Amino acid sequence: MELQTILIILAIGAVAGWLAGVIMKGGGFGLLGDIVVGIIGAFIGGFLFSLLGISAGGLVGQIITATVGAIVLIFILRMFKKA
């Protein structure tokens, strides 16, 4: 994997994690935590979108997919945190 690809993935993860934190209202997990949540969220979002037959292309589509996945991940993490 090229350095440019890794940097793009990290940037999308950071944006998606930050957006998910803002949408879920409760703050994020710090810069590194937001990046991790965003990257994991991208996988979750991609999986969920493929199950629903939704294809989101381009950079904006990738950010939306990752953000939706990150929101799902934050929701799950908060459920476990409360338990």
Tell me the pTM: 0.83
Q: At what angle do helices 3-23 and 58-82 cross, to 10 degrees?
A: 50
For residue 72, count other CB atoms closer than 10 A to its CB. 17
Q: Where are the domains of the chain?
A: 3-82
Query: What is the reported pLDDT for 68?
Result: 93
The tens digit of pLDDT for each residue in 3-36 reads 998 888 888 888 898 888 888 877 667 777 888 8
